[in-house]
Structure 1
Amino acid sequence: MTWSITDKPDVFRSEAGAFLDARPDLHTMLLSGLDTIERLHSAGDTPPTVLGWWREPDEATTSAAFVWMPPHLLTASRLSPEAAADLAALLSAQPHPFTQLLADDASVRAFSSAWQTTTGFAPTSGPHLRLHRLRQLERPDVAPPGAPRAATDGDRALLHDWCTRFVAEAGSLGADLGAFIDERIARAGWRLWTVEGEPVAMAAMTAVVAGMARLTPVYTLPEHRGMGYGSAVTAAVSQAALDAGAEHVLLFTDLANPTSNSVYRRIGYHPVSDYRIVVTGAPE
């Protein structure tokens, strides 16, 4: 049993694509990360990339995988204890500094133990997240004033400002902010909720990959919170994802924020699995 790695997205897709596509909900972060890498490569941009897949002894099929664009967050599928231990050894020897992993709770625990054994550094636990999937979109019983619209190039400065505020509150979006915003504008992936022409909330979706789209980010200006705008813009971008062909519409919530968890449940989102971000110490 061993990890294989490559920096070539086409090689990774041929080796791990079927595994990822089999559970697009659980592999949402890997699929969207791979899609981003493929688009960058198609445009002639080749950022640092480490893509890995794991196979058990005498097995021809992949049973775990990870996607990583250093220095951003590494995202991994569910890991067996053996895969987690070998991943810790692999990453500790990489020339690219590794600092953060996102995976399900059990995999993070196994990796954290292996990382401490391998490097002598105990990782620290970051945000505890819950992945939700839309079963059936439910509109708010009482709609707030206003209406949604797709964001355009003219909204770029506003989106940059609001995304910067979102990152300050919730953490990194894991990508170059300008490219993140522009990619979503280009395919009408942003929705703004406006009241009398003034934007008060925003939400965006990833591209549809393997029948999956994920909502990120969702943000309401502080002075407009508690008025239903966040729910309304989330419902609007959820509908946009469905209209774009997504069979699995997903989003993550921070379990430390019970308000957002209850809001999303009311419009039809239900829990799938719990995840955690772990922050590592630098190896000796």
Structure 2
Amino acid sequence: MAWTQTTDAAELWRRAGPWLGEQPVENAPLLAEVAHLLVTDTAPAGLECGWWSDVSGVVRGAYVRAPRHNPLLTRMPRAALDELVALPESSADAVGVPGVVADDVVQAWAVTGTRLTPARSFTVHVLEGRSAAPSCAGRPRIAGPADEPMLHEWFDALMAGLPGDPSDRAYVVDDPLAAGGLVLWEVDGDPVAMCSRSRVLADTVRMGACYAPGGEAAYVEAAFGATAVEARRHARHVTVLAASGDEQEAARLAAAGFVPAATRVLLTAPAES
């Protein structure tokens, strides 16, 4: 039983792709990051990832640590976690994990002297029903190359309101735009909102950023719903993360046809005072 670590997402996908695809909804955040890396840069500076194999050589666990992001883990046996925390490269004071192994992760990290506690819990919702009709005028269209300057301006405005957010321009705008995965909502021919999605991997996509420069919620919802419908044409599992316990957000997603399907937890080590 052992971990194999790599700095190449393509190698991770070759060896651990089937395992990542066994729980596609639960692993949607990992799949979205790997899908992006596979078509942009499979080995960017700072990328760390790996997979754990049992005595028969079968992969039963994996993780991805994209540059400037917290490590994301799949579910895995306790033995894999015990071995992972013993690796020098695995040190982290925040880690995203499936809810089903959160307690095991806390216990494994505690052995090394790191006290992790749940900071945030997320519900992974998956599209199963039909979205409600838009409550505003307009229609969707797939964004094209001519929209790129506007979309970069919108991205800058979006990030200005989210200080500390590690979202990459390439992930939010450039790659979805190139893949036909960025939808605009237009009113009288003028774009008023956008929403993007990840590339398809393991028949799964993750909904991305939505934004309306004027702040109109109805336009954001219309763009979100149109993007979900478009995404379902390409993937069986269309997913989105939302804070667990947020009833208003759960109701919003339910109106768009999404149902709760899995839980992920962000575990962090409290800062020393």
> TM class by shorter-chain length?
0.7 to 0.9
From 112, 127, 148, the counterpart of 2:120: 127
Q: What SS does the corresponding residue of 1:207 show, helix, strand or coil?
A: coil
Gaps of 5+ in 1: none
Alignment partner, residue 262 of structure 2:
273
Question: 1:106, 1:135 → 2: CA distance?
Answer: 23
- Give the count of matched residue pairs: 269
CA contact 1:159–1:181 (8 Å) conserved in 2: no
Q: What SS does the corresponding residue of 1:13 show, helix, strand or coil?
A: helix
Question: 1:157, 1:69 → 2: CA distance?
Answer: 22
Q: AA paired with 1:46?
A: P
Alignment partner, residue 156 of structure 2:
161
Q: What SS does the corresponding residue of 1:217 show, helix, strand or coil?
A: strand
Alignment partner, residue 38 of structure 1:
38
Q: Which runs of 4+ in 1 moved over 6 A?
A: none
CA contact 2:85–2:91 (8 Å) conserved in 1: no
Offset of 1:281 from its aligned partner? 5.9
Q: AA paired with 1:132?
A: H
CA contact 2:4–2:52 (8 Å) conserved in 1: yes
Could you report, residue by residue, the CA deviation over 1:161-217 in whole angstroms, capped at 9, with x for unpaired residues?
34315634xx73x54335542112222222233344554433210011121111012
Q: CA RMSD in A?
A: 2.7
TM-score for the superposition, normalised by structure 2: 0.85
Offset of 1:252 from its aligned partner? 0.7
Alignment partner, residue 201 of structure 1:
193
Please state if 1:210 is matched with 2:202.
Answer: yes
Offset of 1:81 from its aligned partner? 2.4
Question: 1:161, 1:18 → 2: CA distance?
Answer: 37
From 227, 233, 237, the counterpart of 1:237: 227
Question: 1:199, 1:261 → 2: CA distance?
Answer: 27
Could you report, residue by residue, the CA deviation over 1:203-234 in whole angstroms, capped at 9, with x for unpaired residues?
21001112111101234568423xx3333221
Question: 1:31, 1:238 → 2: CA distance?
Answer: 17
CA contact 1:66–1:74 (8 Å) conserved in 2: yes
TM-score for the superposition, normalised by structure 1: 0.82
Q: What SS does the corresponding residue of 2:202 show, helix, strand or coil?
A: coil
Alignment partner, residue 60 of structure 1:
57
Q: What SS does the corresponding residue of 1:209 show, helix, strand or coil?
A: coil
Distance change (3 Å), C-alpha of 1:109 and 1:195: farther
CA contact 1:85–1:110 (8 Å) conserved in 2: no
Distance change (3 Å), C-alpha of 1:149 and 1:155: farther
Distance change (3 Å), C-alpha of 1:99 and 1:22: same
Q: AA paired with 1:50?
A: E
CA contact 1:160–1:178 (8 Å) conserved in 2: no
Question: 1:221, 1:277 → 2: CA distance?
Answer: 30
